[in-house]
Amino acid sequence: MASTTSPAAALLKRQLKEIQTGKDLPGISCGLVNDSNIFEWEVMLMINDDCKYYGGGNFRARMVFPPTYPHMPPSLTFQTPIPFHPNIYQNGNLCISILHPPEEDEYGYETAAERWSPVQSPETILLSTISLFHSPNDESPANVEAARLLREEREGKHKEFRKRCRKCVRESLGED
């Protein structure tokens, strides 16, 4: 673990305080997993009801920052099971371009500008994550089945994607 007096720790303390005291982030709550470790945050994302697929869900996640933050990205892993989202792996890890290391994509899918850069912050990560609940990305999925069913639903073939999303929401609320 990095020193709590490191530049990364000082930056994270300031960013956490800004999120906790700011009013610009409705539906986002952050705190430390352990008061002695600024590098590990617990996050709650409360998705508003107007979200087509995941509206009303409350999803817990953990954001872990490396000692080299802000030069390298944190990871974001959902603690609340979300077994059905195109951009979330089965183990809960979020797949989003801004959390990929700041280097050229070896497969040529992402540009360097789409990947992590030190101008990103926990706030931009969390806002991008909320955006993925509103508009899942089916182009480079972490969950291929979810992406396929989303595409099929958009084509009007069925409502299976929406049905499975609603099940995730109910589970996030402890209803299933």
Residue 125 has pLDDT above 90, yes or no: yes
| Cα 4 to chain centroid, rounded | 25
User: What's the pTM?
Assistant: 0.89
pLDDT of residue 167: 93
Q: For residues 87 and 139, what is the distance between their CA atoms, to the nearest angstrom? A: 10
pLDDT, average across residues 126-132: 94
Is 95 a catalytic site residue? yes
Per annotation, catalytic residue among 30, 95, 165, 168: 95
Helix 144-154 / helix 160-172 crossing angle, nearest 10 deg: 130
- Domain 7-173 fold is Ubiquitin Conjugating Enzyme (3.10.110)
pLDDT of 68-123, one tens digit each? 999 999 999 999 778 789 999 999 999 998 998 887 766 667 777 788 999 999 99
pLDDT of 17-68, one tens digit each? 999 987 777 899 999 999 999 999 999 999 999 999 999 999 999 999 999 9
Query: Which residues lie below 8 Å from residue 61, measured CB to CB, with a gap of 6+?
Result: 42, 43, 44, 45, 76, 77, 78, 79, 80, 92, 94, 129
Q: Which amino acid appears at position 23 of this protein?
A: K
Per domain, the residue ranges of the chain are 7-173
What string of DSSP letters covers the chain? Answer: ---TTSHHHHHHHHHHHHHHH-SS-TTEEEEESSTT-TTEEEEEEE--TT-TTTTT-EEEEEEE--TTTTTS--EEEESS-----TTB-TTSBB--GGGS-SS--TTSSS-GGGS--TT--HHHHHHHHHHHHHS---SS-SSHHHHHHHHHHHTTS-SHHHHHHHHHHHHHTT--
